[in-house]
Amino acid sequence: MENGTKKLNVSSLAVEQPLPKSKLWKIIMVASIAAGVQFGWALQLSLLTPYVQLLGIPHKFASFIWLCGPISGMIVQPVVGYYSDNCSSRFGRRRGFIAAGAALVTIAVFLIGFAADLGHATGDPLGKGSKPRAIAVFVVGFWILDVANNMLQGPCRALLADLSGGKARMRTSNAFFSFFMAVGNVLGYAAGSYSRLCKIFPFSKTPACDIYCANLKSCFFIAVFLLLSLTILALTVVRENELPEKDEHEIDEKAGARKSKVPFFGEIFGALKDLPRPMWILLLVTSLNWIARFPFFLYDTDWMAKEVYGGKVGDGRLYDLGVHAGALGLLLNSVVLGFMSLSVEFLGKKIGGVKRLWGILNFVLAVCMALTVLVTKMAEKSRQYDAHGTLMAPTSGVKIGALTLFAVLGIPLAVTFSVPFALASIFSSNAGSGQGLSLGVLNLAIVVPQMLVSIAGGPWDDLFGGGNLPGFIVGAVAAAASGILALTMLPSPPADAKPATTMGGFH
């Protein structure tokens, strides 16, 4: 026991040493893959809900496509993480999974980008109307893309942990990973907001693929090039045989884990029975928070195109302009998110704790979701037509109001992406639970609401006329309830707890 303690002390002293420059560059290279992955996520969020409607999927069923995100986030990442931990390939534990994920992304992007062309080649009609073959190709590509993105993220984070060699150094690795996620978001939303990107790839426009489809295809060409370039560079620079040897304590732990008869998901659902009360309240507040937020994630650009710009799916000009304006709004949202993420700890101290900050900003989220109704009514009231009776784009005031909502929503989003993870770490430590298992349980409070909204969101909107506002109103109510529970029932963490907030993400 004494020798083991001495070994741990030596190990902990080694953790505090600064990273060598050579290893820091390798960490940066691996973390940069996040920019390629997040570029693809940004394109999904900004462009794909409108695109599936252009292919002929009704609004009330469009949200079902998004079930893949939370399902793959809940299943793929843990499973891939488990098998990469125990992989004995000569290419290394992580690199093979990362390379396979990048290859799958390439296949998925090809299927999504060329869905309309492949559908037409196999019998879909040109022009408006449902395109069942294109829809089938798109759905297959979309599910492969979500699975591949989740397959990439888990091993990338695990490889960063391997390279860091300690919890203290992981803060540096996570900081770089979060930074490149923000870079990917900004680049992805910027690409989605530019309506003439197809001119760079003139071959992208075909009889079956109009300008909107060609822009989407061009965006994904850039996404694949970025991801493959960063992945190939990182996997070339980093060799896993250079990683430090695991100490005997860790080897024994992993050997014990492999002998365990309880599977990963059995552990998670078993842990629910023994959760302390603070964790249950945290799960409830987090679930309501994601019920509030996810409708806007699904339909933000569609809302901008339909309710704000007055466009109709398939009518071209106004709807396309609205989608690109929504992508610009998401770009502003990401910029605000980035700056706010750096201020969460400071603001939490100023107003009496991060749980109070979270509660207050949940009310900000509720107000923003409710204000979508006001912006929509202002847009409808100020509709203008040209001399030929053609509907014009909304007034500058309406545009500014809508874009301001997008930007302000980045403030509570920064807290959603950090505070729940930090509180879960604190509450699990106080209860003697494992960090990984507790964060896995918290993940259920994120993906289950996403699945609920994906299933019920479209039919709920259709019940009240088919627009996006009914789901946004439910989001406003859920956000207000989340704020009330956070302020009144969620326990405050100990004053001396200083968790490293983790940049989370939705699946």
474 confidence band (pLDDT: 50, 70, 90): very high
The pLDDT value recorded for residue 390 is 84
Average pLDDT over residues 458-466: 82
Residue 196, pLDDT above cutoff 90: no
75 confidence band (pLDDT: 50, 70, 90): confident
Q: Tokens 């100020």 belong to which residue?
A: 382
Integer Cα distance of 358 and 488 in angstroms: 12
The pLDDT value recorded for residue 13 is 38
Q: Return the ∠ at Cα 417 (arms to 460 and 292), rounded to 5°.
A: 20
Long-range contacts of 212-215 (CB under 8 A, 24+ apart): 212/50, 212/51, 212/54, 212/316, 212/320, 212/323, 213/51, 213/54, 213/116
pLDDT digits (tens, 9 = 90+) for 354-413: 889 999 999 999 999 999 999 999 999 999 888 888 888 899 999 999 999 999 999 998
Residue 342 contacts residue 403 (beta carbons within 8 Å): no
Residue 306 contacts residue 467 (beta carbons within 8 Å): yes
Residue 383 burial (CB count, 10 A) = 12
SS3 at position 164? helix
pLDDT digits (tens, 9 = 90+) for 275-285: 778 888 999 99
SS3 at position 264? helix
Element (H, E) at 448: helix 435-463
22 confidence band (pLDDT: 50, 70, 90): low
pLDDT digits (tens, 9 = 90+) for 81-134: 667 777 777 677 788 888 999 999 999 988 988 998 899 898 888 877 778 899
Residue 469, pLDDT above cutoff 60: yes
Average pLDDT over residues 157-178: 68
Integer Cα distance of 131 and 235 in angstroms: 40
Instruction: Tell me how far CA of residue 179 lies from CA of 26, 343, 348, 395, 454, in angstroms.
Output: 15, 15, 21, 35, 29
**How is residue 16 annotated by DSSP?**
T
Q: Which one-letter amino acid corresponds to residue 228?
A: L
pLDDT digits (tens, 9 = 90+) for 35-47: 888 888 888 878 8
Q: Is the pTM of this model over 0.75?
A: no
Q: Which of 39-48, 136-145, 202-211, 245-254 has the lowest mean pLDDT?
A: 245-254
Residue 65, pLDDT above cutoff 90: no
Q: Tokens 């956000």 belong to which residue?
A: 479
Average pLDDT over residues 411-431: 78
Average pLDDT over residues 294-321: 86
Average pLDDT over residues 240-262: 47
SS3 at position 503? coil
| Token pair listed for 262 | 């309880």
8 confidence band (pLDDT: 50, 70, 90): very low
The pLDDT value recorded for residue 76 is 78
For the chain, percent of residues with pLDDT exceeding 90: 23
Domains and CATH numbers, the chain: 21-239 (1.20.1250.20), 268-506 (1.20.1250.20)
User: Which string of DSSP letters, residue by residue, matches 80-149?
Assistant: HHHHHHT---TT-TTHHHHHHHHHHHHHHHHHHHTHHHHHHHTTPPSSSS--HHHHHHHHHHHHHHHHHH
Average pLDDT, the chain: 79
